Structure 1
Amino acid sequence: MRKKSILKYSISLLLLCAPIYIKAQTNQTEENIHYYPQRYGLRVGADLFSLSRNLYDKDFSGFEINADYRLKKKIFAAVELGTTEITKDEENLYNFTTKGHYIKLGFDYNLHENWMNREDMIYVGFRYGFSTFSQTLNSYNIYTTNPYFEEGTVTLNKAYDGLTAHWAEMILGIKTRVFNNVFMGFNFQLKALLAQKQPEDFENLYIPGYNKKYSGGIGVGFNYNVTYLIPLYKSKNDAFSIPTDKKSKEEIEFDSLEK
């Protein structure tokens, strides 16, 4: 009878101490794990390609600003706003000037798995683009094989206003953090024209934000950008974690502060 009482008391004591032991083990485990919370915020910047083109191309004037906002760990809402004025010779037949503004809205999806507190991106994206613009047919060349008529250039300066275009584009790009909150990257764009308003007697050969229109309503683009992140908050729900002992944990925290 006495042995049963001792056994019963021992089992009760073990059951009482078990939660304390488990909690202590859990706390010890958490102390040996270092977390790198993900930063969420607004990233704003500009297209360096169009800005630099203003310096070396006398027939081009324009700029583009861009921004993205992190919605989830791998998903970013994105927007681009720009203005363009460009004069072009199309196959030595037409000389025309296109001037207008555009906006592109969409999202980016990061395919890259970052290590610790890195925030680099290898991403694919989608944009819907809209542009409002005007075109001026400056001149056109007359070509003839008839000896009674001379070849020459006719100066016209005929303006077409109130033109619009809608398109969709797929994006493949890279973005990397070069300083604490400064990112640089580039992307390639493949565009498909959805709808457009154009003059009856002159085709839209160039569309701001869409660029040159090739046969079949296909366009391409390139963007080289620099952006600055405005951090708003950190999320530990999707944080990167790494097991570490006390010494290496302090070293990692120091390295993180240095970066």
Structure 2
Amino acid sequence: MKSTLKYISSFFLLFSILGWSQTTDSLPKFKDRYGLRVGIDLHRLTRSLYDKDYQGIEFTGDFRLSKRYFAAAEIGTEKRDTREPQINATTRGQYLKIGFDYNTHQNWLQLENMVNVGLRYGFSTFSQTLNSYKIYNPNPYFGNGDFIDVNREYSGLTAHWIETVAGIKVQVFTNVFVGFSFRLNIMIQEKDPSGFENLYIPGYNRTYNDRFGVGFNYTVSYFLPLYKKDKGVSAEKKKKK
């Protein structure tokens, strides 16, 4: 009797395994989409509308290289008026950032959301215009005096930096994504104008004495699918088939 029950149990176990295999094989097969995603930074675009001291625009792009790695880049232009207690200057220039993103998020089925970390190399070419300044007075008993107008431009300035990135991208409509990223910038080299330091660098944002800076962007982008690859199927499994 025990032997009979053992064989019956084994039969049902084998039947269940076969049934599960058949069900798994009958599941729909999905493919990962590969292509180019292009977008625009809404933060810089909207800031140009409400901040009279700022004008700028940034375009973003990434291209999927593998399941988790994406080549990424940003290109933009900025104009910023900086008003300090002792100095008033205007920065104008362009910048380019190139690097990669790594998607740490495990998507289900056909989802294409991202929780990414990445790295960029940033380069900017710009000019600084010294509009006016005050002579420093260590003993301002009679006041600091008025601003002295200069309007002198220093062109041909450059800056190089490394940028670490952390952000997200979420698909809200078919092929349409919104995203946010935070940036920590580390200056490698910069060329200062004669007589004063850079107060703002396009793409890098405000500069500080410790050579660190921060930034962020808020993007909307569109994905252009170019081709597809099997989702999560290894080469060995393909050979067996």
| 1:34 alignment partner, SS class | coil
Structure 2 residue 203 is the aligned partner of structure 1 residue 209: yes
C-alpha contact 2:134 2:144 (8 A) present in aligned 1: no
* Structure 1 vs Structure 2 CA RMSD: 2.1
Classify 1:220/1:147 alpha carbon distance in 2 versus 1 (closer, same or farther; 3 Å). Answer: closer
- TM-score w.r.t. length of structure 1: 0.78
Count of residue correspondences: 215
| 1:238 alignment partner, SS class | coil
Query: Partner of 1:83 in structure 2?
Result: 77
C-alpha contact 1:89 1:95 (8 A) present in aligned 2: yes
Query: Partner of 1:57 in structure 2?
Result: 51
Q: Which amino acid aligns with 1:108?
A: D
2:89 to 81, 86, 96: 96
Provide the C-alpha distance between the structure 1 equivalents of 2:71 and 2:196, rounded to a whole number of angstroms. 36
Query: Partner of 2:109 in structure 1?
Result: 116
Structure 2: gaps of 5 or more residues: 1-17, 234-241
Provide the C-alpha distance between the structure 2 equivalents of 1:80 and 1:152, rounded to a whole number of angstroms. 41
Give aligned-pair identity as a percent.
52
2:222 to 223, 228, 235: 228
1:127 to 117, 120, 127: 120
Structure 1: gaps of 5 or more residues: 1-23, 240-259
Query: Partner of 2:68 in structure 1?
Result: 74
Query: Partner of 1:40 in structure 2?
Result: 34
C-alpha contact 1:143 1:152 (8 A) present in aligned 2: no
Q: Which amino acid aligns with 2:213?
A: G
Deviation at 1:123, TM superposition (A): 0.5
C-alpha contact 1:143 1:151 (8 A) present in aligned 2: no
- Radius of gyration: which is bigger? 1
| 1:152 alignment partner, SS class | coil
C-alpha contact 2:200 2:206 (8 A) present in aligned 1: yes
Structure 2 residue 167 is the aligned partner of structure 1 residue 173: yes
Provide the C-alpha distance between the structure 2 equivalents of 1:108 and 1:165, rounded to a whole number of angstroms. 23
